Structure 1
Amino acid sequence: MSKTRQHCFDFGVPPALTLLLGLWGITRNNSMWRDEAATWEAAHRTIPEIWSLLGRIDMVHGLYYLFMHGVFTVFGDRLYCLRLPSLLAMACATALLTLLGSRLVDASTGLATGLAFALLPAVQQYAQEGRPYALVTACEVLACWLLVTAVDASNWCHWAAYGTTVLVAALLNWFSLLILFAHAATIALARTPRAVIARWALSASCAVLGSLPLVMASQAQSGQVSWIPPVGLGTTLNLLMTVVMGALGAYLARTRLASGSVRVSLSALALPLLALPPLLLLAVSLTRPLYQTRYVLFSQIGLALLIGAACHALASRFRRQPRRSIVLAAAVALVALLPIEVPLRSAGSRVDDVLSTADNVAAVRKPGDAVLYIPAARRDTALVSPGAFTGTRDLALIENPRQSNTLQGVEGTPEYIRKAMLTARRIIVVTDDNTSPPASARDRTKEQVLRSHFIRRYETRERGRKIVVYVRRADDRAATPTSRCPCFVRKGSTPTPPGVVPTEQSKSNRTQ
């Protein structure tokens, strides 16, 4: 193989693999989970409406919503358009990471690093989500590459590009600023001259100052993350095991890592990146729960670098042509990870699915039906698929999401909701498929009125959400409460309960 073809192979295969794996099942059986529904709903607003929305909620995702608004405007609003930006960003991250591994050690290490990154389950998951975390990861890979380049060249152009990239990542999600702690450790481990340290500190400070208004503004919306549970023992152990695996990779490749021609070694860059951001977020979460893997997804960059270096070192010891061994190992890993990779592409892989919920509502609704959402955030299914709710009326809503600059609209007082419910003969309730007690007075009122004045006639559960049809007691005196009502669990298709005539689902404004 000529050198040109060899370089094309080394730098082309990893991003191509990322693209192929990302396109595989990208629609997830035409499903969309609640966070993607927020992206969908926000990006469909005008720019002034998005700006007004950010003053109330989701300030931290403002730049991403504006970006996706542009994507939908230019390319349309299909599910592919929702997720392709994330996939393309992850493919770019893979390409940059391949170049970074090649710069830090050699081309074979770059190939192994890129393939390892493409095969990581977390990378495959967020390459198929309409959320900003893949874009943040791509920015952070570029920041790492610019850091290594700037330390070697030490000119202001590289440092300005580095600071700008870190700032863009922070504007997409300011938790990405945790990478600066890792880079500070890298600078210290590399024993760089004082001039380099000063230039890095200035670039990092500019990035922090540039993102400070966003950080401060989003603090007023900190209630958005109140749902995050305390860190469990399992999460802590998984994180520690990942760090240990990375350290083991650095140990296996120690001889080769020491032979790099750049000032920053692979281990000096990768180990702090793998360990510090998640561990720091974990430490903060001990007092205020904030830890979510996706917030520090970019730490997978360090893991991929260490896996790639270890694989190349092992391949070099056993074969004269390590590239073939690396590709063979990647193929074996791909097959071995199939039990994880296949479920990631299923509709049930996320917390819930707003589109299947809309299908279930369309199957049981009748003209004049009323609808309730418990909690109000479950209104997202009607906002994404309004055609499924044609002919129904929202009992609790007094101000729609766009008018109120919110994602779920504004509901009336508990008394207003109680009176509205008593005017309905049939109510469709959209709620979560769990038994957690209602958190707000409005939701408690909804459930109390349903218990006192309505009888449950039909129920279906699917992909994290539940649809329940209630009728007024005066309209069905022969029925008894829940013990005798026919309840069905949908398996593949929605059954038709007695007395319910499914109507044809409207296709207008429906996600394809």
Structure 2
Amino acid sequence: MVWTFALGLWGLSRQDSVWRDEAATWQVAQRSTAEICHMLENVDVVHGFYYLLMHVLFECFGPSTTALRLPSVLAMGVAAACVAVIGHRLAGRWAGLGGGAAFGLLPAVQFHLQEGRPYALVAAGAGISTLLVVSALQRRVRASYWVAYGGTVVLMGFLNWLSLMILPAHAVTLLWVRAGRGVRARWAAASAAAAACVLPLVLFSRSQSAQVSWIPPLTWHMMIGPAVLLAIGGVGALLDRPRTGRLPIAAVGLPLLVVPQVGLIGLSLVQPLFLERYVLFSLLGLALLIGAILGSVVRAARPRFPRASRWMLPAAVAVAMVALLPQSLAKRSPASRVDDVLAVASDVRRLKEPGNAVLFIPSARRDTKSVSPDAFADLRDIALAESPERSGTLKGLEADPARIRTAMLSQQRILLVTDAAQVARPVTAERDKTKTSVLEEYFRAVADEQVRGRRVTVYERRAPAR
């Protein structure tokens, strides 16, 4: 846990950068509770519980990159601790320590370790719920354990309802070890209650499915990553040699890894949803199986090399740390994300002049203004008809194209905030086409700055032809 905390605190601010996904958390968390609830009626209801949690944290500690990301660091530390405890119980000390240390080093974990999004919290819930299942399989537990299990799964579902795929993963574990009828009955009751609590959120979120329409359809090359993970997990399962009377670590780790990955692939055949962060919690299973591999190596070496065997795990962690160092540094750089809303806000502050107007293409780039309102002081948002807060949206409601055209033609100097050329998508919305055509026909660019995936261009009105 301490090891994972240290990895999370290393470079936590990412050079004071915040990218678009985190900007959504940042701007929503600063709204009032009523405004957040109003927004959830229209968009992002799947993250509503997380936004309310971050709202409380921002109220207590103020908005900052530390307050934004520290919950993820703490949650990943809890997840790593759960991996270590489970691995220790099922395969011994070295497997527990190896799995817990390996978890924090996994590239996907390092990425989300410092993200102001809910996926690390889901991973912590997965660790806690799996530890509760293991406890129930190892000994007779009180009913409060199953209440805690159901409550943890409910919280996971409220943070990301796709995390409910942990339930079939645990079901496979129970079938694998032939759990007693009492354990199966209590698990089924807790699982059914948890799923029933989350079901209204699942059904309501279907009305907002347009939010994920940008996710591309599943392709064969997307399967490479899951295939590699499953291969590593398979090696760990094969090397697992459970002692008499002990649960096999493969029975816990392999379903936790495989079921969510395969489940997400299956869902993506119906509706494209394949994003690794949706099943980030499955990497707890991978870490357990990596721990099994490391534990097997140490046990095999101990009879011949009793002294050297003690240093095998630290040496393996050190080698992995060095091998992954370039990637670890890259993930703590602003360049690891597609853009940086704070960097471009600094350019706006420098380039603006009194009486200027501002436009955003697409309108979602208004997140820069929402996160850094001071940088846009004295700038008229001439396309905006209703603010994000009043409209209950993330990007606000813009006027119709004709009104935007009229407003633009009344300006002498306009700042355009958009995506940098290398990440920009083709303009498709009619409002954005109007903005682009008016700027090209009646204005000329006099300044252009691109920084960390964002771009601000200053346009001045052309002199009328004589």
User: What TM-score bracket applies, with the shorter chain setting the length?
Assistant: over 0.9
Three-state SS of the structure 2 residue aligned to 1:470 is: strand
For 1:309 and 1:245, the matched residues in 2 are separated by 11
1:260 CA drift (Å): 6.0
1:303 CA drift (Å): 0.5
1:369 CA drift (Å): 1.2
1:154 CA drift (Å): 5.1
Q: Which residue of 1 aligns with 2:243?
A: 259
1:174 aligns with 2:158: no
Q: Which residue of 2 aligns with 1:415?
A: 402
Kindly report which structure 2 residues correspond to 1:292-441, keeping only aligned pairs within 5 A, or say none: 292-319=275-302, 320=306, 322-433=309-420, 434-441=423-430
TM-score by length of 1: 0.87
1:59 aligns with 2:45: yes
The partner residue of 1:135 within 86, 106, 121 is: 121
Q: Which residue of 2 aligns with 1:147?
A: 133
The partner residue of 2:257 within 259, 264, 274 is: 274
1:449 aligns with 2:449: no
Native 8 Å contact 1:154 1:196 kept in 2: no
1:436 CA drift (Å): 2.4
Three-state SS of the structure 2 residue aligned to 1:96 is: helix
1:239 aligns with 2:226: yes
Native 8 Å contact 1:104 1:260 kept in 2: no
For 2:31 and 2:205, the matched residues in 1 are separated by 20
For 2:292 and 2:222, the matched residues in 1 are separated by 26
For 1:231 and 1:450, the matched residues in 2 are separated by 38
Native 8 Å contact 2:78 2:127 kept in 1: no
1:312 CA drift (Å): 1.3
For 1:100 and 1:205, the matched residues in 2 are separated by 24
Letter in 2 for 1:306: L
Q: Which residue of 2 aligns with 1:49?
A: 35
For 2:216 and 2:452, the matched residues in 1 are separated by 21
For 1:436 and 1:101, the matched residues in 2 are separated by 45
Letter in 2 for 1:452: E
Native 8 Å contact 2:35 2:390 kept in 1: no
For 2:244 and 2:401, the matched residues in 1 are separated by 67
Percentage of matched positions with identical amino acids = 47
Native 8 Å contact 2:236 2:250 kept in 1: no
TM-score by length of 2: 0.95
Gaps of 5+ in 2: none
Kindly report which structure 2 residues correspond to 1:22-101, keeping only aligned pairs within 5 A, or say none: 22-101=8-87
Three-state SS of the structure 2 residue aligned to 1:220 is: helix
Three-state SS of the structure 1 residue aligned to 2:447 is: strand
1:467 aligns with 2:456: yes
Three-state SS of the structure 2 residue aligned to 1:286 is: helix
Native 8 Å contact 2:91 2:295 kept in 1: no
For 1:155 and 1:204, the matched residues in 2 are separated by 16
How well do the aligned residues superpose, as a CA RMSD in angstroms?
1.5
Inter-CA distance 113–323: structure 2 relative to 1 (3 Å threshold): farther
Letter in 2 for 1:445: T
Map Cα deviations across residues 119-156 of structure 1 (whole Å, 9 max, x no partner): 11111111101111111100110000001112332542
Inter-CA distance 198–424: structure 2 relative to 1 (3 Å threshold): same
The partner residue of 1:218 within 188, 205, 209 is: 205
Inter-CA distance 199–383: structure 2 relative to 1 (3 Å threshold): same
Letter in 1 for 2:455: K
Three-state SS of the structure 2 residue aligned to 1:430 is: strand
Letter in 2 for 1:61: H
For 1:216 and 1:190, the matched residues in 2 are separated by 34
Letter in 2 for 1:449: V
Gaps of 5+ in 1: 1-14, 479-512
Map Cα deviations across residues 387-412 of structure 1 (whole Å, 9 max, x no partner): 11122110100111111111111110
For 1:415 and 1:280, the matched residues in 2 are separated by 47
Native 8 Å contact 1:108 1:323 kept in 2: no
Letter in 2 for 1:148: V
